[in-house]
Amino acid sequence: MTEGDIIVPSNSRPEFADQFEAKIYWLSKEDLLPGRVYILEAVGGKSEATISKLKYRLEKDGQHQIATNTLSDQQYGVSNISLAGAILYDPYSMCNAMGHFNLLDKFSGEVVAEGEIHHGLRRANNVHWQRLDIDKQSRANIKHQVPKIIWLTGLSGAGKSSIANLIEKKLIAKTRHSYLLDGDNVRHGLNKDLGFTDADRVENIRRIAETAKLMLDAGLIVITSFISPFRAEREMARNLFDKGEFIEVFVEASLEVCEKRDPKGLYKKARAGEIKNFTGIDSPYQPPEHPELVIDTVTLTLEQAADKIIGYLEAISG
Amino acid sequence: MTEGDIIVPSNSRPEFADQFEAKIYWLSKEDLLPGRVYILEAVGGKSEATISKLKYRLEKDGQHQIATNTLSDQQYGVSNISLAGAILYDPYSMCNAMGHFNLLDKFSGEVVAEGEIHHGLRRANNVHWQRLDIDKQSRANIKHQVPKIIWLTGLSGAGKSSIANLIEKKLIAKTRHSYLLDGDNVRHGLNKDLGFTDADRVENIRRIAETAKLMLDAGLIVITSFISPFRAEREMARNLFDKGEFIEVFVEASLEVCEKRDPKGLYKKARAGEIKNFTGIDSPYQPPEHPELVIDTVTLTLEQAADKIIGYLEAISG
């Protein structure tokens, strides 16, 4: 026995799982966001964790299961949780110590929730990774290129779409195999069930990052053009990829400049109150802290901006 | 004036929208499935429609908003609805006639729900399609191939994964640019928030079909390997693509054969009650009626099966 070992009767060993249903007591002023990465700490292990599905909020009497997209401070809810790695656990009903966990903010370390494990989601154990004969390398090889993600972020009107279009045009001219994911092809299809609340924005970016990962696996150079306002989700996206695969490009222009450009007339509508949750007006934008590239669209032309990004791409792809 | 014209005061013209929030009264023995395509009929137009988001169920007293994934016969709920084409409408509160609609089953024509439009989702009008310079054709051209979707469907154990792997291997050997979407790369990433209930299966297939569409747009030959048990969702997937792009392949083997093979031991667990909602045991499989290809894995070897599919692909790609 060493410190930290767990003693259990031999007929009731704790189980391993990386997905379970849990009751959650939210403790942070900032609302819970399904899809965001938090840190889960329990006796049986520690892991990155996301609320994969918020099932319902519990009213104080514990009787009513109220529909919700989020939990606020001091609210109870029941959710599915998905971990990056499996932990050892018991259902809280069998063992309070082994079934209890805390959720921590990934950046501040603040405890944002306490939880009680209801039960593991056993189906998770029945979905196996199958070894495929064809992998990312072989797909990239026949395309004679190194797959990458060029992740553009910035305010509406900063120039992301125009630059993204120009990048793809230039890459195709070089017979590079690329694909541009942007609001147009995603919001009308894959993510047409999502709106513009904070919770929906997080899920929007999560699905885009996962789709970009599949496309990178297919050997493509993927350009994404989304405001992607939250640092946490850009970080989540980056962590899906191997080191060097993810190129975060901050397309920078001040709110004043973007609002003056207003190519789609959206700022005007947002100021008039016709559009809610608009980034820069009544929804925040968190600028990148360590992006691979900063593109200042006030001093650079679109052409120069695209060339700078492609130059960087070629330099790191050897 | 002709029959069907609508007379309105000039200061309160009805609006056009292809997305709105509505109250729904469900009338079918078969539960509502968000993501499934229904037909919406209203005074102001007719369109294919999906429940893009089921917000909550209303209890009889109309006070409590209960969390739910579905509505059953005689239940009320509030949802977002997304249409294939815009209709003319008024909120039900302004005009009962213009704000009322029926939802019909796409195949039987049965009325499955009545609805009242709360309001249009205006944000929908603010997401524009942007004309891109680079399109499917130009991406496919540099790959020297015709992009297609090879959609494998069949019971667990029928041989889908093995055949899919072999197809990709053979396509890569021919320097075709392909990608295999299957449970492994989708259930652990893009769709890790989804389980195996009917509602989650519908959303699982919807997202896979939309991702396949993005990949086809990128110029790839996409192979999908999912049970995809419901005819309605395979139909929905097919309808996302142009004529000739979608190749439905029924990988056929009887339940008895699949259960005897049981490569992952899943049928055994399902029979023991350890896995619920398992296709063929306690969840239905609806065989395709007009697939492009039927592959009988009892009489064909895996090699022969893969060759037959690739032969078909090459014949239609010219």
Q: If you count residue pairs, one on A and one on B, with CB atoms under 8 Å apart, how many are there?
A: 174
Nearest Cα neighbor of B75 from B60, B92, B65 is: B60
With an 8 Å Cβ cutoff, are B122 and A275 in contact? yes
Q: For residue B96, is it within any domain?
A: yes
> Smallest Cβ distance to B67: which of A68, A122, A184?
A68
The burial class, CB within 10 Å (0-12 / 13-18 / 19+), for A60 is exposed
Look at residue A124 and tell me whether its pLDDT is greater than 80: no
Considering the domain architecture, whether residues A194 and A257 belong to the same structural domain is answered as yes
Annotation marks residue A72 as catalytic: no
Q: How does pLDDT run across A212-239, given as a tens digit for each residue?
A: 999 999 999 999 999 999 998 899 999 9
Tell me, yes or no, whether A122 and A141 share the same domain: no
Contacts of B182 in chain A (CB under 8 A): 130
pLDDT at residue number B1: 47
Q: Are A271 and A282 in contact (CB under 8 A)?
A: no
Cα gap B297→A264, rounded to integer Å: 54
Asked if A173 and A304 sit in the same domain, the reply is yes
Burial class of residue A183 in the structure, from the number of CB atoms within 10 Å of its CB (0-12 exposed, 13-18 middle, 19+ buried): buried
Q: Could you say which of A128, A161, A180 has the minimum Cβ distance to residue B264?
A: A128
CATH number at residue B62: 2.40.30.10
How confident is the model at residue A197, as a pLDDT?
81
Structural domain containing residue A307 = 136-317
- The residues of B that are catalytic are 228
- The residue out of A126, A154, A181 marking a domain boundary is A126
Query: What is residue A2's predicted lDDT score, i.e. its pLDDT?
Result: 52
Q: Is residue B65 in a domain?
A: yes
- Calculate what percentage of chain A has a pLDDT beyond 70: 92
Residue B314, Ramachandran bin (φ over 0: left; ψ between -120 and 50: alpha; else beta): alpha
Phi, psi of B63, deg, nearest 5: -95, -40
Does the structure show a pLDDT above 60 at A18?
yes
> What order do you get walking across the sheet with B221-225 strand by strand?
B178-182, B221-225, B149-153, B246-252, B293-296
A2-7 long-range CB contacts below 8 Å, 24 or more apart? Answer: A6/A43, A6/A44, A6/A88, A6/A98
| Cross-chain Cβ contact B189/A240 below 8 Å | yes
Q: Is pLDDT above 80 for A8?
A: no
- Name the residue among A169, A185, A187 with its Cβ closest to that of B214: A185
Strand A221-225 to strand A149-153: parallel, antiparallel, or no bridges (unpaired)?
parallel
B32: distance to nearest CA of chain A, Å?
16
User: Model confidence at A247, in pLDDT bands (50, 70, 90)?
Assistant: very high
Query: What is the per-residue pLDDT across A137-148, written as a single tens digit (0 to 9) for each?
Result: 778 777 788 999
Nearest to A132 among B35, B130, B180 (CB): B180
Question: Do A78 and A152 share a structural domain?
Answer: no
A313 Cα to chain B: minimum distance (Å):
19
User: Has residue A3 been placed in a domain?
Assistant: no
Residue of A nearest to B55 (CA): A67
> Predicted confidence band at A192 (pLDDT cuts at 50, 70, 90)?
confident
Q: Which residue on chain A is closest to B223 by alpha carbon?
A: A218
A188 interaction partners in chain B (CB closer than 8 Å): 127, 129
Give the single-character DSSP code of A123: G
Catalytic residue (one of A28, A228, A254, A317): A228
Residue A155 shares a structural domain with residue A190:
yes
pLDDT of residue B3: 53
In a domain, B5, yes or no: no
Q: What is the pLDDT of residue A193?
A: 85
The number of C-alpha atoms within 13 Å of B170 and in the hemisphere containing its C-beta is 19
If one counts the domains in chain A, the total is: 2
For every residue of chain B, DSSP letters joined together read: --TT-----TTS--EEEEEEEEEEEE--SSPP-TT-EEEEEETTEEEEEEEEEEEEEEPTTS--EE--S---TT-EEEEEEEEEEEEEE--TTT-HHHHEEEEE-TTT--EEEEEEEEEE-GGGGG------SS-HHHHHHHTTS---EEEEE--TTSSHHHHHHHHHHHHHHTT--EEEEEHHHIIIIITTT--SSHHHHHHHHHHHHHHHHHHHHTT-EEEEE-----HHHHHHHHHTS-TTTEEEEEEE--HHHHHHH-TTSHHHHHHTTSS-S-BTTTB-----SS-SEEEETTTS-HHHHHHHHHHHHHHHH-
The two tokens of residue B41 are 């009929």
Is B267 domain-assigned?
yes
Same domain assignment for residues B81 and B160: no
């195949």: which residue's tokens?
Answer: B107
Q: What is the pLDDT of residue A3?
A: 53
Q: Is residue B140, in this structure, part of any structural domain at all?
A: yes
Cβ A184–B130 below 8 Å, yes or no? yes
- Reading the block at residue A70, the tokens are 């989020």
CA dihedral A112, A113, A114, A115 (to 10 degrees): -140
- Give the residue from chain B lying closest to A173, CA to CA: B142
Q: If DSSP codes are grouped into helix, strand and coil, which group holds residue A50? A: strand
| CATH code assigned at A204 | 3.40.50.300
Distance of CA B103 to the CA centre of its chain: 17
Same domain, A242 and A294: yes
A9: in domain: no
Give the gap in angstroms from C-alpha B292 to the nearest C-alpha of chain A: 25
Mean pLDDT of chain A: 87
Return the higher-pLDDT residue of A256 and B62.
A256
- Closest-CA distance of chain A to residue B142, Å: 6
Give the pLDDT score at A166.
93
Instruction: Tell me the pLDDT of chain B (318 aa) as tens digits.
Output: 455 555 555 455 677 888 899 999 999 998 998 888 899 999 888 998 988 888 899 887 777 888 888 899 999 999 999 888 888 888 898 888 889 999 999 888 999 999 999 988 865 455 544 445 677 777 877 778 899 999 999 999 999 999 999 999 999 888 899 999 998 889 888 998 888 888 888 899 999 999 999 999 999 999 999 999 999 889 999 999 999 999 999 999 999 999 999 988 999 999 998 888 889 998 899 999 999 999 999 999 999 999 999 999 999 887
- The Cα of A57 is separated from the nearest Cα of chain B by a number of Å equal to 8
Nearest to A220 among B67, B218, B274 (CB): B218
Indicate the SS3 state at residue A95.
Answer: coil
Q: Residues A120, A145: one domain?
A: no
A38-93 pLDDT per residue, tens: 999 998 889 889 888 888 998 877 778 888 888 999 999 999 998 888 888 888 98
B104 occurs within a structural domain: yes
Q: From A126, A158, A187, give the residue that closes a domain.
A: A126
Beta bridge partners of B23: B78, B116
Within this chain, do residues A201 and A302 fall inside the same structural domain, yes or no? yes
CB contact under 8 A, A189 and B165: no
Question: Are B303 and B189 in a shared domain?
Answer: yes
Angle, to 10 degrees, between the axis of helix A302-317 and the axis of helix A160-173?
50
Are residue B33 and residue B182 in the same domain, yes or no? no
Residue that terminates a domain, selected from A90, A106, A126:
A126
Residue of A nearest to B276 (CA): A123
- Residues A269-314 have pLDDT tens digits of 999 988 888 899 988 999 999 999 999 999 999 999 999 999 999 9
Q: Using the 8-state DSSP alphabet, how is residue A228 labeled?
A: -
One domain for residues A148 and A67: no
